[in-house]
Chain A
Amino acid sequence: MQDSGISVLFMGSNFLRLLEGLWVTVRISLISVILSIPLGILFGMFMTLKNPFSKVISRIYLEFIRIMPQLVLLFIAYFGVTRAFGWNLSAELSAVIVFTLWGTAEMGDLVRGALISIPKHQYDSAEALGMTKMQTFVYVVVPQTMRRLIPLTINLTTRMIKTTSLVVLIGITEVLKVGKQIIDANRFDYPTAALWVYGVVFLLYFLACWPISILAKRLEKRWR
C-alpha cells in the first residue's frame, strides 16, 4: 500500500510539476524580498524622522498593512483594482505588489527598531570624535544596525516564502497547490498518496528556506 502511495510522485510529469510549482513560489517571494529590503530600509529611515507629518503617514501605512490579512490584500490587488479602476493586473504582478507592500512595511519597522536601538552614547561619542552626521551614520550606525537586522530579515524572508501559498486564491498554481492537485487526482486509486506528497512539499519548502539560513549564519559570522 505504501509503495503505491510513493509511486504517485513519479507518475507522468508529477514531480516536474512540483518543481515548477516550487519555482513559482520562490520566484514570487524572492522578487518581493529583493524589492522589499531597499524599500523597507528607506521606509524605516523615513519612520525615524522627527516630523509629525511623516510619522502619521508611516503609522497609517504600517497599521493598515499589519491589520489587513494578506489574503484580503491579494483580493483587493487582483479583483478590487479591476472592479474599481478597470486595470487588469496579472495575478503574479498583483502578488508581487502585495508581498512587496507587506515586506516594505515589516522591513521598515524592523529597520526603525534597529535604528533606535543604537544607544545615544554612540552618537555622542562619534560627535566627540569630530565626525559629521553623515560619517556617524555610515561608520557607526549602519554597521551596527546591519548586524541586528540579519536574523530579522531572514525571518521575514522565510515567512514570505511560506505565505506565498495564499496566492492560489488568485489563481497562481504554486507548489502547495500542485501537491493538492496531485493528491486529489489520485484520491480514489491511491488514498495514501497525501502523506508522500505533503512530505515532498515539506522537503521542497525546507530546501528553499535552508540555504537562506546558511547564508545568514555566514554573514553574521563575518560581520561579528
Chain B
Amino acid sequence: MKRNLITKFITLALSTLLLTGSLAGCGTQTTNNEGQPEAPSVSYRTVDEIKESGKIVIGVFSDKAPFGYIDENGKYQGYDVYFAERIAKDLGVDIEYVSTDPASRVEYAATGKVDIILANFTVTEERAQQVDFALPYMKVKLGVVSPDNALITDIEQLNGKNLIVVKGTTAETYFTENYPEVNLQKYDEYADAYNALLDGRGDAFSTDNTEVLAWAISNPGFTVGIDALGNADTIAPAVQKGNSTLLEWLNDEIVSLGAEKFFHADYEETLAPVYGEAANPDSLVVEGGKVD
C-alpha cells in the first residue's frame, strides 16, 4: 500500500515536471523572439508577401455584436469587420476571417496564425509584450447608467449614494481611487449587477460605456447619464511582434483614414443602429490614431 502511494507520487511529480517544462518552453520562446530573430517560430508575413499571396488573414470576433458578429446569411459584420474590409480593399487582397475568442486573441497574433487581430482588442502593457499594437481606432471609457426618474448626469450627484460595480473591473478601481465618498456596491457577475439596478438596490451602475449603452437601449426606463468618465482605454489592431512593415502600413492607413472621417462612417454604419441617440460617437471613435 505504502509503496503504491510512493509510485503514485513519483508519477505525479514526473508528469508535473513534463507539464511545466512544456509550458515554460512556450514562455521562454516568446522572450527569445523579442531580442533574437533566430528563433524558428513561424515568421510573420510582410506587406509585400501578403499582397503577393492575394489574401490577408484577419482574426475577428464572431459573437460580439455590434463589433464582430455573423449575420443570418453567414457573413461577418460589425465595427471591426467594417475596418477589416477596408484594410483588404486598400491592400488589394481578399480577406480570410478567423473566428477568435477573448482567451485566444494574443496567441493568434503572437504565433502569426493571423496577420492582424481586429477583435475589440484593448491595449494593455501586458499584451504589448506579446504583440505589437498599431494606432488605436476606438476608445472605451466608463459609463454610468441610472433610472430615468433619478438620473445621474454628474459625478457629484453620486456622493453618499450607492453605486453598483462589478468586482475586478476598471470602474471599481477608478471610483475607489478617485471618489472615496461614493458608496460602492460590489457584485461578482454582470447579471447580478444589472438585477441589483433593476431592483433599485443601487442608485446607478458603472462599467465600460459600450456595455452600459447597449444595455440601456434594451432596458427602457434607464439612461446612460454619464457616457465618458475616467481614463480612456484604447482599442487597436495587433500584429505579430516584429512585423514592422505591416505595423507601419496599418499606422499610415489609420492616419490617412482619419482625414476622411472613416471611423465616424463606420460608427454610423455599425454602432449607431445599436446605440441610437444615447451615445455620442466622439466618446467612442478615435480618428487618425489620436486620442484626446
Contact = CB atoms under 8 A, between A and B. Distances in A.
A154 to B, nearest CB: 28
Nearest to A90: B113
A182 B74 CA distance: 9
B291 interface: no
Interface stretch (A75-83, A107-115, A140-148, A212-220): A75-83
Contacts, number: 106
Interface stretch (B46-54, B81-89, B104-112): B104-112
Interface string A150-194: 000000000000000000111101000100111111011001000
A168 B101 contact: yes
Contacts of A63: 11-12, 14-15
A185 B14 CA distance: 47
Contacts of A11: 72
A88 interface: yes
Interface stretch (A12-20, A22-30, A127-135, A202-210): A12-20
Contacts of B74: 12-13, 17
Contacts of B107: 75, 79
Interface in B193-244: 214, 217-218
Interface string B47-77: 0000000000001001111000111111001
B137 to A, nearest CB: 21
A183 B40 CA distance: 41
Contact of A85 (B40, B70, B72, B101): B40
B99 A184 contact: no
Contact of A184 (B22, B65, B100): B65
Contacts of B101: 168-169
Contacts of A83: 26, 29-30, 41, 110-111
Interface in A30-78: 59-60, 63-64, 67-68, 75-76
Contacts of A59: 11
A91 B58 CA distance: 15
> Which of A88, A173, A187 has the most C-beta atoms of chain B within 10 angstroms of its own C-beta?
A187
Contact of A64 (B15, B30, B111): B15
A86 interface: yes
A84 interface: yes
A88 B100 contact: no
B98 interface: yes
Nearest to A11: B72
B265 interface: no
B41 A86 contact: yes
B42 A88 contact: yes
B35 interface: no
A135 to B, nearest CB: 34
Interface of A: 8, 11-14, 17, 59-60, 63-64, 67-68, 75-76, 79-80, 82-86, 88, 168-171, 173, 177, 180-185, 187-188, 191
Q: Which 9 A-B pairs have the closest CB atoms?
A: A12-B72, A11-B72, A184-B63, A79-B107, A12-B73, A86-B40, A82-B111, A63-B15, A180-B63
